[in-house]
């Protein structure tokens, strides 16, 4: 079998997605997701202009060799654009191999180690009361794990909180500006979780995302203050570029720590894993695809670190569909983030995975089980949108 062609599609069924379709001379095709929220066209060009010409004529069964060829062969390694583009190719090739062998993708990864994949949903509210109501709504619809974010009193906007029915991190047009105060945030969040834990009891996993907005010592202090409420994890408590920063957080708190949705390679987690500074890695298939994430998971497994992949709705259903095969087959996967896609998005990506009672079930169809309706996608042209930036109250650009 040979790769005969590959095409890149950019569409916006409610939000922007980049989709790679690899065709073979046997008629089997594979689909990969090349979406990098807010930087979509950079990946589309990387794929179209630099990768697709190198793929034509190759044997699609040689997934590892093609991965190495694209990673090492570029000379310029790592980085979100490169790794997202490699991920799109890698996932499409795994899809082709599983379809060619007429089996669900999880079978090629060692087979199922669990019946279903625990997911966590996103609850949010403009007040503590509304946040508790939203967490309860999630519990009523079956979720066993819920992330809770609440507007911070005294701040005009908070990332992760909206009054809209569905939360979308990117906004049309140029980047919005949010305001930030670590002091107001630190004074508020323990009260949120105190009331939340009292309201929902002990049977549900509660999670929280700090979005990298605290310094290591502030993160340490928040982790300690949240200990009585027994979080499943505190996510992105501080920025991850300096892996040593997590030593400070870890030294001071037993609240479990998760990090990594913005990481691209195994190198980004080396110290975090070998020093056991975090409990969960949040890299998604965007970080180099199934071939890369398997290695990261095996490395983490040696150090009692588990996986809990990023699963926001700005990754396309192709990533979710493929991730569920990875999640079903990899032993040290603990949980998967799940932000449901809009109806417009789901119509463009017919799929065979499903959500039931707080858990996701991978497709049982051959491949990863997610398809792409090109004609429908054509009706939704690219529409620029950006993630917001975040400034402290004095105007200093801050982390998020």
Q: What residues are annotated to the active site?
A: 159, 211
Supply the minimum distance, in Å, between the C-beta of residue 367 and ligand EZ4: 25
Q: Which stretch binds ligand EZ4 (CB under 6 A): 52-60, 106-114, 238-246, 310-318?
A: 310-318
169 binds ligand EZ4 (CB under 6 A): yes
**Closer to ligand EZ4 by Cβ: residue 243 or 309:** 309
DSSP structural state of residue 367 = B
Dihedral (CA of 176, 210, 85, 316) sign: negative
Instruction: Answer for the pair 179, 147: CB distance below 8 angstroms, yes or no.
Output: no
Residue from the set 20, 337, 349, 366 that interacts with ligand EZ4 by CB under 6 A? 337
Q: By CB under 6 A, tell whether 210 contacts ligand EZ4.
A: no
Residue burial 40-63, b: 16+ Cβ < 10 Å; e: rest: bebbbebbbeebbebbeebebeeb
Residue 327 is a binding residue for Co ion (CB under 5 A):
no
Contact with ligand EZ4 (CB under 6 A): which of 33, 209, 268, 279? 209
Stretch that binds ligand EZ4, among 213-221, 289-297, 306-314, 390-398 (CB under 6 A): 306-314
Please give the backbone phi and psi of residue 217, each rounded to the nearest 5 degrees, phi first.
Answer: -75, -35
Q: Which is nearer to ligand EZ4, 291 or 336 (CB)?
A: 336
Number of Cβ atoms within 10 Å of the Cβ of 31 = 25
Which strand (E) or helix (H) includes residue 139? helix 128-140
Please identify, using beta-carbon distances, which residue of 67 and 124 lies nearer to ligand EZ4. 124
Answer for the pair 208, 234: CB distance below 8 angstroms, yes or no.
yes
Q: Which is closer to ligand EZ4, CB of 104 or CB of 169? A: 169
Min. distance of Cβ 19 from ligand EZ4 in angstroms?
17
Which of 312, 330, 348, 363 is close enough to bind ligand EZ4 by CB under 6 A? 312
Q: Indicate whether 84 belongs to the interface with ligand EZ4 (CB under 6 A).
A: no
Among the listed ranges 44-52, 83-91, 123-131, 307-315, the one in contact with ligand EZ4 (CB under 6 A) is 307-315
CA distance 86 to 275: 28
Minimum CB separation of residue 176 from ligand EZ4 in Å reads 13
Query: Which residue has the CB atom at the shortest distance from Co ion?
Result: 209
Q: For the CA atoms of the chain, what is the radius of gyration?
A: 20
Shortest spacing between CB 11 and Co ion, in angstroms: 24
Contact yes or no for 319/325 (Cβ under 8 A): no
Q: What x/- string results for residues 177 through 216 when contact with Co ion is judged by CB under 5 A?
A: --------------------------------x-------
List strands edge to edge, sheet with 29-33. Answer: 3-11, 17-24, 29-33
Indicate whether 314 belongs to the interface with Co ion (CB under 5 A).
no
| Sequence-ordered list of residues with C-beta below 8 angstroms from that of 296, at least 6 positions apart, any chain | 266, 269, 281, 283, 287, 307
Rounded (5°) CA angle 154-260-92: 125
Minimal CB distance to ligand EZ4: which residue?
A: 312
B/e letters for 114-147, b = 16+ CB within 10 Å, e = fewer, are eebbbbbbbbbbeebebbbebbbebbeeebbbbb
Which of 90, 86, 108 minimizes the C-alpha distance to 99?
108
**Sole binder of ligand EZ4 in the list 314, 317, 371, 372 (CB under 6 A):** 314
> In this complex, which beta carbon is closest to ligand EZ4, that of residue 95 or of residue 209?
209
Q: Which stretch binds ligand EZ4 (CB under 6 A): 67-75, 309-317, 346-354, 375-383?
A: 309-317
Q: Do you know the residue count of the chain?
A: 400
Which is closer to ligand EZ4, CB of 314 or CB of 371?
314
Residue 214 found at the interface with ligand EZ4 (CB under 6 A): no
Q: Which residues between 7 and 66 bind ligand EZ4 (CB under 6 A)?
A: 37
Binding residues for ligand EZ4 (CB under 6 A): 37, 169, 209, 261, 310, 312, 314, 337, 387
Binding footprint of Co ion on the chain (CB under 5 A): 209, 261
């Amino acid at each position: 079998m040979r790769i005969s062609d590959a095409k890149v599609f950019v569409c916006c069924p409610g939000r922007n997605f980049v989709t790679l379709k690899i065709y073979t001379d046997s008629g089997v095709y594979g689909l990969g997701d090349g979406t990098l929220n807010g930087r979509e066209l950079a990946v589309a060009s990387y794929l179209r202009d630099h990768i697709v010409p190198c793929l034509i004529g190759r044997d699609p069964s040689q997934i590892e060799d093609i991965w190495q060829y694209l990673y090492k062969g570029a000379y310029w390694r790592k980085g979100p654009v490169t790794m997202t583009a490699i991920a799109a190719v890698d996932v499409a090739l795994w899809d082709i191999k599983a379809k060619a062998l007429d089996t669900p993708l999880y079978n090629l990864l060692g087979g199922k180690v669990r019946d279903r994949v625990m997911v966590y949903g996103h609850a949010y509210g403009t007040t503590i009361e509304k946040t508790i109501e939203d967490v309860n709504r999630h519990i009523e619809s079956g979720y066993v794990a819920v992330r809770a974010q609440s507007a911070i009193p005294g701040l005009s906007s908070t990332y992760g909180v909206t009054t809209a029915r569905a939360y979308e991190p990117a906004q049309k047009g140029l980047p919005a500006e949010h305001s930030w105060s670590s002091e107001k945030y630190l004074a508020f969040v323990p009260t949120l979780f105190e009331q939340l834990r009292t309201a929902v009891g002990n049977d549900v996993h509660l999670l929280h995302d700090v979005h990298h907005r605290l310094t290591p010592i502030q993160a340490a202090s928040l982790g300690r203050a949240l200990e009585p409420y027994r979080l499943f994890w505190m996510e992105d408590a501080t920025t991850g570029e300096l892996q040593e920063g997590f030593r400070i957080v870890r030294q001071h708190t037993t609240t479990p720590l998760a990090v990594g949705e913005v990481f691209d390679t195994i190198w980004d987690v080396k110290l975090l894993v070998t020093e056991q500074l975090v409990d969960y890695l949040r890299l998604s298939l965007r970080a180099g695809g199934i071939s890369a994430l398997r290695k990261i998971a095996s490395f983490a497994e040696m150090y009692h670190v588990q996986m809990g992949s990023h699963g926001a709705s700005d990754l396309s259903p192709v990533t979710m569909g493929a991730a569920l095969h990875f999640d079903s087959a990899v032993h040290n996967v603990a949980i998967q983030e799940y932000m449901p896609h809009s109806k417009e998005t789901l119509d463009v990506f017919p799929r065979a995975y499903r959500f039931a009672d707080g858990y996701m079930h991978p497709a049982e169809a051959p491949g990863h089980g997610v398809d792409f309706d090109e004609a429908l996608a054509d009706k939704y042209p690219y529409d620029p949108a950006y993630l917001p930036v975040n400034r402290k109250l004095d105007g200093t650009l801050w982390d998020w």
